[in-house]
Amino acid sequence: LNIAPVPKWALITVAVAVAILLLLFLICIVRCCCSKKKPRKKERIGLCAVSNSTTTSLVQPEMEDLERQVEQKQRGKLQYSLEYNFRMQELKVGVKQAVELKAMDSGGTSDPYVIVYLTSDMKRRYETKVYRKTLNPIFNESFIFQVPQAEVSESTLMMQVYDFNRFAKHDIIGEVRLPLASVNLQHVIEQWSDLVVASKVEEEHLGEICFSLRYVPSTGKLTVLILEAKQLKRMDSHGLSDPFVKVHLILNRKKWKKKKTSVKRNTLSPYFNEVFVFEVPFSQIQNVDLVISVWDHDKVTKNEPIGKLFLGCRATGNQLRHWSDMLSNPRRPLAQWHILQPPDVVDKALGLKSHLKLPLHSR
C-alpha cells in the first residue's frame, strides 16, 4: 500500500465494493435455486390432491396390487388333462405334474399333493400321493367323476395343491379353478394352468383328529392310540358336542372288530389318550381297512356321526401315506393329524358288503 500511487482509503473502498458485489452474486444464486425447487413442491402437492383413484393408479400402482402379482407368480403351474365319456357320462381328470411350486417349508422345499373335486359334488374328493421335498412333483394320477351331461356346464373343476405337514394343518399352495362350461369336451384336453390364490369358500369343516399307529409283524399286533381331536363340528344346541371315537377293523370289506373311547362332555377339542390293540396276522394286513370315526353322544336320541376317515392299502392321500409309513417302520409308533371327512363319502369309498342272510328253512 505504501508503494502504490493510489491513496490507501481508495483501495479499501474498492475492496469493500468487490466484497459487496460477491455477496449480492451469491444471494442471486441462492434465490434462483430456491425458485426452481418450488414448482416441484407444488407439483407433488397437486398430484396428491387428485381425488380420482383411476388417475392415481395410472401414475403409481397400489402396493396391494404389486404384492398380489408377485404372490401369483410364485405359486407355480399345474399340468392336467380332461376327457369326457359321453356314453358313460364320466369325466376323467388326469393330474400330470406341477412345476416351480412355492416353497412352504423352512428348507426351501414343499411336500405337495393335489385334491381334486367338482363344485357340483363337493363331498366326493380325490387326493394324489404326497411327494416329499420337491417343488416339481410328477403325479401321473387319474380320477373319474360321474357327471350327467346336463350338469357338466354347471360344474367347476377344482384342483388344489397342498403342502403336507404331519403335525399341523396342511397349507394350501394354490389352486386351479376351471369352469367346465368354458371347456370343449368333445376331445381330450391337456394343458398347463397357473396356480392362483385359494378361494375363501370351502366346505363345512368337520374337525381334525390325531392318532398314532404301530404294527409289529412278528406278533401281529396293531396298536392304535387315539390322542386328541380339535375344531369338531358343533352338534348340540348350546354350541358344543359330547364326542367319542370308534375304531373299526374291516377285513375283506366286511366289519371285523371294533372298539371305542370314553365320552368327553361339552367340548370341541377333546383329549383322549386311549390305546387299543388288535391282533392282525401279517398275512391279513394287506386286506385290512382301519376306520376312525368321531361321534356325538346323545342320551335321548341316537348318536350322530361327526366325521370319518379310513386307512389301509385302498386309502388315498394322507391316509395312505400314514398307513404306508407304519408298514415301512415296524415296531415304531407314528402319530399324525387327519382331517375328518363326511361319513357317507367314507362309507361309499369303503363299499362294505352286507352280511349274508341265511335262507329260512321251510317246514
> Are 241 and 169 part of one and the same domain?
no
CA distance 137 to 195: 14
Domain count, the chain: 2
CA distance 190 to 96: 9
In this structure, is residue 14 part of a structural domain?
no
> Are 157 and 224 part of one and the same domain?
no
> Are 211 and 344 part of one and the same domain?
yes
Lookup: cell for 312: 389301509
Q: Which domain holds residue 289?
A: 207-350
> Are 190 and 216 part of one and the same domain?
no
Helix/strand/coil percentages in the chain, nearest 5: 25, 35, 35
What is the secondary structure of 267-278 as a DSSP string?
-SS-EEEEEEEE
- Own/partner contacts of 195-202, CB < 8 Å, gap of 24 or more, are 195/75, 195/76, 195/77, 195/78, 195/98, 195/101, 195/161, 196/72, 196/75, 197/68, 197/71, 197/72, 197/75, 198/160, 198/172, 198/174, 199/175
Query: Which of 58-72, 192-206, 231-245 shows the lowest mean pLDDT across its residues?
Result: 58-72
Q: What pLDDT was estimated at residue 55?
A: 37
Examine the fold and report which residue of 195, 222, 250 is the final residue of a domain before the chain moves on: 195
- pLDDT higher than threshold 50 for residue 358: no
Tell which phi-psi region holds residue 331, choosing left (phi > 0), alpha (psi between -120 and 50) or beta.
left
> Are 125 and 229 part of one and the same domain?
no
Tell whether pTM > 0.85.
no
- Higher per-residue confidence, 122 vs 346: 346
- pLDDT higher than threshold 50 for residue 51: no
Rounded mean pLDDT, 86-105: 93
In this structure, is residue 1 part of a structural domain?
no
Q: What pLDDT was estimated at residue 121?
A: 77
Chain mean position to CA 243? 26
CA distance 71 to 18: 66
pLDDT digits (tens, 9 = 90+) for 133-190: 999 999 999 999 998 888 888 889 999 999 988 776 788 999 999 999 888 888 899 9
- pLDDT higher than threshold 60 for residue 50: no
pLDDT digits (tens, 9 = 90+) for 229-266: 998 988 876 778 899 999 999 998 888 899 999 999 99
Under 8 Å CB-to-CB from 238, ≥6 apart: which residues? 266
CATH number at residue 178: 2.60.40.150
Examine the fold and report which residue of 195, 223, 244 is the final residue of a domain before the chain moves on: 195
CA distance 143 to 188: 15
- Cell 387319474 sits on residue: 142
Query: Which of 35-39, 89-93, 303-307 shows the lowest mean pLDDT across its residues?
Result: 35-39
- pLDDT higher than threshold 50 for residue 274: yes
> Are 252 and 117 part of one and the same domain?
no
In this structure, is residue 83 part of a structural domain?
yes
Under 8 Å CB-to-CB from 100, ≥6 apart: which residues? 76, 77, 135, 136
What is the secondary structure of 123-189 as a DSSP string?
EEEEE-----S-SS-EEEEEEEEE--HHHHTT-EEEEEEEE--SSSPPEEEEEEEEEGGGS-TTS-E
Q: What pLDDT was estimated at residue 252?
A: 86
- pLDDT higher than threshold 90 for residue 295: yes
> Are 150 and 174 part of one and the same domain?
yes
Examine the fold and report which residue of 154, 174, 195 is the final residue of a domain before the chain moves on: 195
Q: What pLDDT was estimated at residue 54?
A: 40
Strand partners, 102: none
> Are 282 and 257 part of one and the same domain?
yes
In this structure, is residue 280 part of a structural domain?
yes
> Are 158 and 254 part of one and the same domain?
no
In this structure, is residue 238 part of a structural domain?
yes
Q: What pLDDT was estimated at residue 233?
A: 86
